[in-house]
Structure 1
């Protein structure tokens, strides 16, 4: 391997792995989710209690989102440390993707429509 590549360069690939896990678990959760404010919370409860391994898929999805953001922030930190912001077009696309990921994560935070989701959407 080249001497200038370290383990810090793995976080872009880890982001891809986390994204695949998020998409897969999100699709499985969407099969049993009801997108209505009156029944959303009960459908999440149904997933955790009645669907086979639904609790595992939900917790993989929730913890996968946290892992995705940990890898994302380390990836951004590596980019800042190594001066990747010099490549203006690449950096701007990365910033746009960061805001898109943050918006998507907020929508995922609001979907269960529990108390924290409600007040997160209200504020």
Structure 2
């Protein structure tokens, strides 16, 4: 007797490592949504940037939760990226040069975007 609800054929090399691409998409959607919510209350002026971040955490309803989800989500996003790269290295995905090079460009863009997000409070955190 088969205990599985659905019995579908799968390739023999499928493992849990193949989930990180999908997790990257989920993390990206979460980062975009929380970033948009944070942007509604953020002030980009040098003298008020940090105080707007503290305002979000202290005065905005669930602002502390959204900010922490955004900050920790960025860390989880990079964990997923590095695991995705490690899987690609392990399975030899770098042999598909065009796809691999697009991934490297995306990695650099994500690193630059993360740096910009990190410096938004102007180094006062």
TM-score, normalised via structure 1 length:
0.92
**SS in structure 2 of the partner of residue 115 of structure 1:** coil
Query: Which residue of the other structure, out of 111, 116, 124, is the alignment partner of 1:102?
Result: 111
Is the radius of gyration larger for structure 1 or structure 2? 2
| Cα distance in 2, alignment partners of residues 3 and 88 from structure 1 | 24
The runs of 4+ residues in structure 1 deviating greater than 6 Å are none
For the residue of structure 2 that corresponds to 1:69, the secondary structure is helix
Q: 1:46 aligns with which of 43, 47, 55?
A: 55
**Could you list the per-position Cα deviations for residues 51-104 of structure 1 after superposition, in whole angstroms to 9, with x for gaps in the alignment?**
000000000000000000000000001000110000000000000000000000
Stretches of structure 2 that go unaligned for 5 or more consecutive residues are 1-9
Query: Quick check: which one's helix share is greater?
Result: 1
For 1:101 and 1:43, locate their aligned partners in 2 and report how far apart those are by CA, in whole Å. Answer: 24
Output the aligned Cα RMSD: 0.8
Normalising by structure 2, report the TM-score: 0.90
The answer for unaligned runs of 5 or more in structure 1 is: 117-123
Aligned residues: 116
